[in-house]
Amino acid sequence: MKLEFCYLPTTDLAASLRLYRDTLGFDELWREGDQTVGLAIPGNEAALMIDGAGLEGWGPGPIFGVDRVADFRAEHPELDVVTEPYEIPGGHLMAARDPAGNMLYVMDQSTDGAG
């Protein structure tokens, strides 16, 4: 398991980009449509994912990369799952809550053509 992204939902993507990209100097890595932008966090391997599309009940939290989300889910039945694993571009994602109610996400890139 590796920390891949810090997920930040936003109601104003343009304002968030002005802060993180333009003011703080984070480099834009990628975009997914008009609602989601990945930014390099200076001095870190993990990136910031700013998302204007935000899903109901989802909040900010870490996104951890694993080999296969379905296997991770099966190995951890004790998790308080908010969203069961589902397909995203290039892989799969699931959402859960920790004991304090904070969101955590687990993703894989199992369908990106690399494996």
What are 54-75's pLDDT values in tens digits? 666 788 999 999 999 999 999 9
The residue type found at 30 is: W
Give the range among 51-55, 77-81, 87-91 with minimum mean pLDDT: 51-55
Q: Which stretches within 40-98 are classed as H helix?
A: 69-75
| Domains, the chain | 2-108 (3.10.180.10)
DSSP assigned state of 112? S
Q: Which residues on neighbouring strands pair with residue 105, listed in sequence order? A: 63, 95
Q: Indicate the pTM of the whole model.
A: 0.85
Q: Please, which residues have CB within 8 angstroms of residue 115's CB and are 6 or more apart in sequence?
A: none
Q: Which stretches within the chain are classed as H helix?
A: 13-17, 69-75
